[in-house]
C-alpha cells in the first residue's frame, strides 16, 4: 500500500487489489461505501448493491444488528467477523460505543470466546507459530504484509484470564488486546500483529475435541520450551528491531521469568505483571482521595501470589518508598496468600519473584488461627489488620462475608478490589461488598458489574481494567520510538491515570474516568510514558520534550474511508 496527495486533497491509497480481492481484504474493504468512481475503477459494479452509503450509516446498521443478538458470545462472534471483514467499520463502531462494546471485545466475554475459539474460527488473523514449525519462524515473519508492524501481543495460552490452559484458543487474547490498542490508544491496526506460540496444551478437553485447531500435543516445558521462546525472540528482534512486544497470559512460572530474561534485549513488557500493577496502583492512589488516609499508612492483603499479585505488590512497594517508607518496611506491609495460605518463611520453597514478599516467621508468632497448620485469608485480615484487600486469585467468592466484615472492624473505609476476571471468577460482587460493609468500602473490580445504588442514585463500579494503561503505553512508546519499557515508565503511567481521577475533585465521585473517555486518557498516559522514557534516555532518536505531545497526537489513528487509486 502507498499513499500520495492529489491536488491538496486527502491523501489517496494506491492499491493493486480489485474486485473480490479488494472486498475480501479487511484492511481495504469499504463495503457499500465505495464511491461510484471507485466501483468503476476497481471492477466492483455488480459485486455490491447499487446504493452508495457512508461510514456513519454502516455503523448505525451494524449497531442495530449487534443489539439484536440475545447473548454476548453471539455479539463477540459478530464483532470478530466484522473485524475480519472491514477493519475501518469495526473500529469506528468500537470507538463510538466503547463503554458498551469493551466488555464484549475483551473481558469478560473474550474468556468465553477463547473457550469456543476453535468453533468460532473463520478467517486468519495474526500468526500461529507452532513448535513443529520452529525452523520456519523467521521465514513466516518475513512476509511483506508485516513490514509496518510496530506492536505485537504474544501468548502461549497457558493461563487465559482465570480460565487456565486454553491452548490455541488463547489467540483470542492477543486479538482482543490489539483491538483495544487501536480502539483505545489509536495505534494504526496495520501496525499490530497478534501471535500465538503453540507449544501444545494440557487441557484434556481441547485435545479430545475433534474441532480443536491447535497442535495436538501435551504442553512442552523445560529446555525445549525455552529454546522455542529464544528462537521466537531472536526472529522478532531481527525482523523488527524497534517493535513493542507485549507478553500476555503466560503461566506464573514463565511470566516473570521471561520478562526478566528479555526486558533488556528488546522493548517489551508483561501486561499481567506490569499493566495490572499500573492500573491497580493508579486506582489505589485515587482511592486515597476518598478515604483520606495516605498511601504511607496502608497495609495490604493480596489473595493470589502469582505474577499479577507479585507485580502489584512490587509496584506499590515502589510507590510506598517514594512516599517516604523504608524499603524493608514497605515490603513488610504486604501479606500475600496463595492456595497454601500466607506466604511465610519456612512454609515451602518460593519462586524468585515471590521471595521479596514472604513474611518473616516472627511476624506471625502469636497469631490466633482457624487451623494451626495454615494461615488463611481470614486469619491475615484478623491479625495483620490490612486496610487494602486485593484479589487476583481467580477464586470465585473467596472474599467471604466474614473476610469483608472483618476488614471493616480494622478500618473505617476499607479498599477492596476483587480484580480477577472474567466476571465468573471475581472474588466477590460489588453488591455483596457494599451490603457487608454498609456502604463503607471503596470498591474496584477487574470485570464490569452493574452500578450500585448510593443515596438513591446509581453509582458506577470502577473497573480497574488494564485498558486504562496499556494502549497509552503502546502509543507513547511507538510515537517516540522508545527502546525499552522501564519500571519508571510504568509508574509514570500509573501516576498519569491517577491524576485524571474524578475523585480528585469530588471524593464521592468515581476513582477512574469513564470508559468512553479512554481515547483521551490514553493520550494522557502516552505523554507521561514518553516523557519518562525521554528523561531516562530510552529513545532511539533525539526529540525535544516540547515536540512529544505533538508526535503523540499525530500518531493517533482515526477510522475513516480514504479515497483509493489503482496501481502497484
Give yes or no: 106 in active site.
yes
Report the sign of the C-alpha dihedral through residues 359, 365, 370, 373, in that order.
positive
Please check if 345 is assigned to a binding site. no
234 vs 54: CA distance, rounded Å: 44
Enter the C-alpha cell of residue 447.
470485570
Please check if 249 is assigned to a binding site. yes
Query: Which 3 state secondary structure label does DSSP give 239?
Result: helix
Enter the C-alpha cell of residue 27.
484492511
Annotated active-site residue in 106, 262, 350, 561: 106
Report the sign of the C-alpha dihedral through residues 386, 398, 99, 310, in that order.
positive
103 vs 79: CA distance, rounded Å: 12
Considering only the C-alpha atoms of the chain, give the largest distance between any 2 of them, rounded to a whole number of Å: 84
Residues 170, 157: contact at Cβ < 8 Å?
A: yes
Give yes or no: 225 in active site.
no
Q: What is the DSSP string of 56-76?
A: HHHHHHHHHHHHH-SSHHHHH
Spell out the SS3 assignment of 198-216.
ECCCCCHHHHHCCCCCCCC
421 vs 433: CA distance, rounded Å: 17
Strand partners, 245: 152, 268
* Closest alpha carbon to 328 in 319, 337, 317: 317
Annotated active-site residue in 30, 131, 177, 212: 177
Residue for cell digits 517489551?
Answer: 268
Please check if 465 is assigned to a binding site. yes
Peptide bond into 500 cis (omega under 30): no
Classify strands 442-445 and 151-155 as parallel, antiparallel or unpaired.
Answer: unpaired
* Distance in Å from the first CA to the final CA of the chain: 8
* Closest alpha carbon to 284 in 274, 295, 273, 292: 295
Q: What are phi and psi of 298, to 5 degrees?
A: -85, 150
* Closest alpha carbon to 311 in 249, 250, 256: 256
* Closest alpha carbon to 286 in 455, 526, 462, 466: 462
Please check if 272 is assigned to a binding site. yes
Binding-site residue set for (S)-malate: 159, 421, 465
Binding-site residue set for a divalent metal cation: 248-249, 272
Active site residues: 106, 177
Amino acid at each position: 500500500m502507498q499513499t500520495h496527495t492529489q491536488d491538496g486533497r486527502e491523501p489517496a491509497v494506491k492499491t493493486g487489489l480489485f474486485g473480490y480481492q479488494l472486498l475480501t481484504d479487511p484492511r481495504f474493504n469499504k463495503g457499500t461505501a465505495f464511491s461510484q468512481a471507485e466501483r468503476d475503477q476497481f471492477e466492483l459494479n455488480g459485486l455490491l448493491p447499487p446504493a452508495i452509503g457512508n461510514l456513519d450509516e454502516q455503523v448505525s446498521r451494524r449497531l442495530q444488528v449487534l443489539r439484536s443478538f440475545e447473548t454476548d458470545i453471539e455479539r463477540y462472534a459478530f464483532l470478530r467477523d466484522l473485524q475480519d471483514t472491514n477493519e475501518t467499520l469495526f473500529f469506528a463502531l468500537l470507538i463510538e460505543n466503547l463503554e458498551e462494546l469493551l466488555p464484549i471485545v475483551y473481558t469478560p466475554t473474550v474468556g468465553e470466546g477463547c473457550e469456543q475459539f476453535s468453533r468460532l474460527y473463520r478467517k486468519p488473523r495474526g500468526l500461529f507459530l507452532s513448535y513443529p514449525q520452529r525452523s520456519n519462524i523467521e521465514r513466516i515473519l518475513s512476509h511483506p504484509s508485516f513490514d509496518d508492524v510496530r506492536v505485537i501481543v504474544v501468548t502461549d495460552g497457558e493461563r487465559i484470564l482465570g480460565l487456565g490452559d486454553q491452548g490455541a484458543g488463547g489467540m483470542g487474547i492477543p486479538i482482543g488486546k490489539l483491538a483495544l490498542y487501536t480502539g483505545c490508544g489509536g495505534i494504526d491496526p496495520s501496525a499490530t500483529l497478534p501471535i500465538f506460540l503453540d507449544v501444545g496444551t494440557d487441557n484434556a478437553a481441547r485435545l479430545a475435541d475433534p474441532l480443536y485447531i491447535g497442535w495436538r500435543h501435551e504442553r512442552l516445558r523445560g529446555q525445549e520450551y525455552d529454546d522455542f521462546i529464544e528462537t521466537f525472540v531472536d526472529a522478532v528482534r531481527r525482523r523488527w528491531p524497534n517493535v513493542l512486544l507485549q507478553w500476555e497470559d503466560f503461566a506464573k512460572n514463565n511470566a516473570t521469568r521471561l520478562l526478566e530474561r528479555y526486558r533488556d534485549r528488546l522493548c517489551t513488557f508483561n501486561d499481567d505483571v506490569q499493566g495490572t500493577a499500573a492500573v491497580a496502583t493508579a486506582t489505589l492512589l485515587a482511592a486515597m482521595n476518598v478515604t483520606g488516609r495516605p498511601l504511607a499508612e496502608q497495609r495490604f492483603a493480596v489473595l493470589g501470589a502469582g505474577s499479577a499479585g507479585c507485580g502489584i505488590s512490587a509496584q506499590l512497594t515502589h510507590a510506598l518508598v517514594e512516599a517516604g517508607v523504608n524499603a524493608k518496611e514497605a515490603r513488610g506491609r504486604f501479606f500475600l496468600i496463595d492456595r497454601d495460605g500466607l506466604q511465610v518463611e519456612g512454609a515451602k520453597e518460593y519462586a524468585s519473584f515471590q521471595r521479596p514478599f514472604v513474611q518473616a516467621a516472627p511476624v506471625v508468632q502469636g497469631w490466633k488461627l482457624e487451623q494451626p497448620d495454615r494461615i488463611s485469608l481470614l486469619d491475615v485480615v484478623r491479625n495483620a489488620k490490612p486496610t487494602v484487600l486485593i484479589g487476583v486469585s481467580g477464586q470465585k467468592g473467596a472474599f467471604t462475608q466474614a473476610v469483608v466484615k472483618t476488614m471493616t472492624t480494622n478500618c473505617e473505609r476499607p479498599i477492596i478490589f476483587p480484580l480477577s476476571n472474567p466476571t465468573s471468577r471475581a472474588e466477590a460482587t460489588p453488591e455483596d461488598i457494599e451490603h457487608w460493609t454498609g456502604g463503607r468500602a471503596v470498591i474496584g473490580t477487574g470485570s464490569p458489574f452493574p452500578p450500585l445504588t448510593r443515596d438513591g442514585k446509581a453509582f458506577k463500579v470502577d473497573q480497574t481494567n488494564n485498558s486504562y494503561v496499556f494502549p497509552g503505553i503502546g502509543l507513547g512508546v511507538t510515537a517516540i520510538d522508545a527502546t525499552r519499557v522501564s519500571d519508571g515508565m510504568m509508574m509514570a503511567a500509573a501516576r498519569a491515570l491517577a491524576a485524571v481521577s474524578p475523585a480528585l475533585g469530588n471524593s464521592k465521585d468515581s476513582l477512574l474516568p469513564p470508559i468512553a473517555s479512554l481515547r483521551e486518557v490514553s493520550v494522557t498516559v502516552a505523554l507521561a510514558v514518553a516523557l519518562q522514557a525521554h528523561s531516562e534516555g530510552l529513545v532511539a532518536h533525539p526529540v525535544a520534550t516540547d515536540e512529544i505531545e505533538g508526535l503523540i497526537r499525530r500518531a493517533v489513528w482515526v477510522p475513516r474511508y480514504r479515497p483509493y487509486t489503482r496501481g502497484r
